[in-house]
Structure 1
């Protein structure tokens, strides 16, 4: 039986491509309207796993998913960095000259702002999803509406690709996706392991509290690649920290680091340990 993997958006979304990298091509995909529906589907067993975007190289963190990881605590079991390449798509017979409106997700519109500067007669229209914009254009069946999405989405909905690599700066737009599911996975003794943790400082008003907590890793030569803070929903002006470290939780020095970290925190929780992800390009075609 194929695994059912949930993602936010419509068929053809970048998250669908990420899901296939993370869980394999032989899966059934479950498009969801919201990120939280992914976690709910995993919790109830409707989905076996999910692909969630956590960070974009140009737009930054996807804060909603940081907060949902803390709320649901579904283990992270893998990651992939996907190169995002936008295309301009429209119904067959359309041209850039015939377009009056181009719709897409606000981030995609912003990332392709130079196109609209070069074509001031075309109005940009905000839509909830890149792939959803391609679906909507196909439904309208006219020559005046276009969308910004992936070439995969354009082909999936039978649209022509009028221009590829529409983004302002080519080759630097990447999104990191996590694979999540109900149960954690065991990691081998491989050195190429990333571990993601979240913690709350016990004395966050004490000078050097965060410095001391992070020092548990620094003094042991453990590389921390990212740290993020988010408001604690249960404690006004309190914060929860997320940290990514290149470390195997089975390593004795990592075990020691966590033991020292616990002296500075109210809680420490390991969200997941997994093989460090690769950078990939879109390759799935409709």
Structure 2
């Protein structure tokens, strides 16, 4: 049975993502930090990990972009998980009793409208959504609540005071990546074959002369001229070279496709380095499950 790590405590959204990404026949391993997931994969303590990479309302999880560059563990799958936040507290607590609510910074950001409507309730950042539910259960203070999943509330014996707490109920999604030590084998490319869901490829790259006018335009042109669809580009500061940037670039394309091979070959003219983080099927959209 594979051991799959996720950041947080039991009941975390990442735990649900781990089952969607790796299947139900796994042993989930909660970890305190994202870096511990990468370290665990590197040392063989775990076989893989489920990490959030971006949220549809709160944006990118930059820590994981930086850790992907640092550790270079292959991305082998993705899933887009619909996030449903609940406000939970100790049994018998009422909404008007609360003076403070704990949650992960992303959870707080995704529920900012609630705090605007309740200025008397203080939002306090905690390291994890499910961990905040666990903390409330431990403290035994009816003046403090947590923002977490309904499963976490049930797991830690809390009452749900309000459901659908997110700013945009029904349209709040987080994309998760599955990472492991080795890449997956991809099917051979066949011309004119429609593959659904399409294969996505994610690259790390650094421009050879980022100060040159049009440098990024020239690099991205390698994909545009071959009609390869870019799905995301994110820049992160280079850890050792001030004012230079690492680009995370994702596009639809099988690396065995001659068009992709040609695009990457041309891209080398404009970059100091290119590293393929992974190629995998585009992820489906799923609901929370445990």
Give the TM-score normalised by structure 1: 0.94
State the number of aligned residues: 283
1:1-286 map, 5 Å: 2-188=1-187, 189=189, 190=195, 192-284=198-290
Asked if the contact 1:116/1:122 (under 8 Å) is kept, the reply is yes
Output the aligned Cα RMSD. 1.5
Structure 2 unaligned segments of length 5 or more: list them. 190-194
Q: 1:20 and 1:270 mapped to 2: Cα distance?
A: 25
Please report how far the alpha carbon of residue 99 of structure 1 lies from its aligned counterpart in structure 2 after TM superposition: 2.7
Cα distance in 2, alignment partners of residues 20 and 177 from structure 1: 11
3-state DSSP of counterpart to 1:177 = strand
Tell me the CA shift for residue 135 of structure 1. Answer: 0.2
CA contact (8 A) 1:187 1:275 kept: no
CA apart distance, 1:251:
0.6
Change (3 A) 1:238 1:118: closer
Whole-angstrom distance in 1 between the partners of 2:24 and 2:169: 27
In 2, Cα distance between the equivalents of 1:193 and 1:73?
Answer: 19
Aligned-partner Cα distance in 2 for 1:237–1:118 = 40
- CA–CA separation in structure 2 for the residues paired with 1:201 and 1:131: 40
Q: Distance in 2 between matches of 1:227 and 1:195?
A: 12
Deviations 1:113-158 (A, max 9, x none): 3333443443333222111110011112343322110001111111
CA distance in 1 between partners of 2:265 and 2:176 (Å): 29
* Structure 1, unaligned runs of 5 or more: none
SS of residue in 2 equivalent to 1:170: coil
CA distance in structure 2 between the partners assigned to 1:82 and 1:234 by the alignment: 34
TM-score, normalised with respect to structure 2: 0.93
Shift of 1:33: 1.2
Paired residues of 1:91 and 1:138 also in contact (CA < 8 A): yes
